[in-house]
């Protein structure tokens, strides 16, 4: 083999050495998804704690656990950002935070 290579050969070499393999792309993207899911789950648990504090304060002062007008605002926010599945996600979050109505 000679020491020099054509432009086409060096392009090929660059591609084989620098293009990530699909399995590597998927592996590192899944690591990122796992990290994001960890943060989302921590945030959901934090939300549950904050929501519980509000509900307890309201019940202790003679109010009700659930306030539908506030829940409507939250459902609307999620629907605006995520469309119809956003409403489903918000309903699940609300159920986690205040139980079933």
91 in contact with ligand ISJ (CB under 6 A): no
Least distance in angstroms from the C-beta of 60 to ligand ISJ: 13
Closer residue to ligand ISJ (CB): 35 or 57: 57
Determine the Cα–Cα distance for residues 70 and 63; give it in Å rounded to an integer.
Answer: 14
- The token pair at 23 is 């399995």
79 in contact with ligand ISJ (CB under 6 A): no
87 in contact with ligand ISJ (CB under 6 A): no
Number of chain residues interacting with ligand ISJ (CB under 6 A): 11
- Which of 1-9, 15-23, 38-46, 62-70 is the region at the interface with ligand ISJ (rule: CB under 6 A)? 62-70
Q: Which residue has the tokens 């993207």?
A: 29
Coil, strand or helix: which one is 45? helix
């Amino acid at each position: 083999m000679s020491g020099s290579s054509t432009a086409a050969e060096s392009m090929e070499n660059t591609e084989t050495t620098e293009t990530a393999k699909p399995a590597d792309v998927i592996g590192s993207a899944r690591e990122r998804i796992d990290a994001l899911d960890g943060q989302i789950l921590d945030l959901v648990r934090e939300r549950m704690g904050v929501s519980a504090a509000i509900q307890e304060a309201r019940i202790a002062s003679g109010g009700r656990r659930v306030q539908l007008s506030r829940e409507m605002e939250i459902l609307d926010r999620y629907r605006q950002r995520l469309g119809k599945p956003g409403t489903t996600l918000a309903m699940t979050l609300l159920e986690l935070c205040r139980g079933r109505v």
